[in-house]
Amino acid sequence: MRLILFGPPGAGKGTQAKLLETELGVPQLSTGDIFRSAIKNQTPLGVKVKAIMDSGKLVGDDVVVALVAETIAKSQFANGYILDGFPRTVAQAEAFDALLAQRGEKVDAFIALEVPDEELISRLTNRGQGREDDTPDKIKVRLGVYKQETAPVLAYYKAKNQAKIIDGLGSVEDIQQRILDAVNN
């Protein structure tokens, strides 16, 4: 099972990915975790990413896709994974699809969690992670960036008839059940 969980910041992708790991029997794969692991293990791509991040620049699509490719080649991902935070751009989605095609694989499900902005702002300001960018003004900026740069990925998968949109409101358990229903249909 190769599942992409998609949605804006605060939609619950990370929470759902962790719960679905057990339910679906495949590991969660967060791009943030991939970056941290590659940097910690000083892989060639990790060294490159660290240098980019240390300079204050954004990691380019080609490097992000290469890191994901390096990670999914590991044996623990042989039976699939739940992607959380990737792809973030249409270029990443296209490159990822090309990578999977080379491997004779495809995305099994693209699940988009849909949550109103007001709820996202509430969740992010109340999540208690102490992030500096979890203030209402900064959250609005992050949501704007998401809508401009990341939301087009949904249109990309919709055009391929792979996107399933799930209501991201309700209890964690209700949302998980909606995702499972969408994956199994």
Q: Active site includes 50?
A: no
Which of 74, 127, 147, 160 is an active site residue? 127
Q: 136-141: which pairs have CB atoms within 8 A and are 24 or more residues apart?
A: 139/9, 139/10
Task: Count each helix (H run) and each strand (E run) in the chain, helices first.
Answer: 9, 5
**Rounded Cα–Cα distance for residues 31 and 115 (Å):** 22
Catalytic residue among 50, 88, 123, 138: 88
Q: Which of 18, 40, 131, 160 is labelled catalytic?
A: 131
Residue 88 designated active-site: yes
Active site residue 142: yes
DSSP annotation string for 113-182 = EE--HHHHHHHHHHS----TT-SHHHHHHHHHHIIIIITHHHHHHHHTT-EEEEE--S-HHHHHHHHHHH
Write the CB contacts of 106 (distance below 8 Å, at least 6 apart in sequence): 2, 97, 100
Report the distance separating Cα 120 and Cα 145, nearest Å: 14
CA distance 106 to 1: 9
Cα distance between residue 111 and residue 172, in whole Å: 15
Q: Respond yes or no: is residue 127 known to be catalytic.
A: yes
Q: What amino acid positions are annotated as catalytic residues?
A: 13, 88, 127, 131, 142
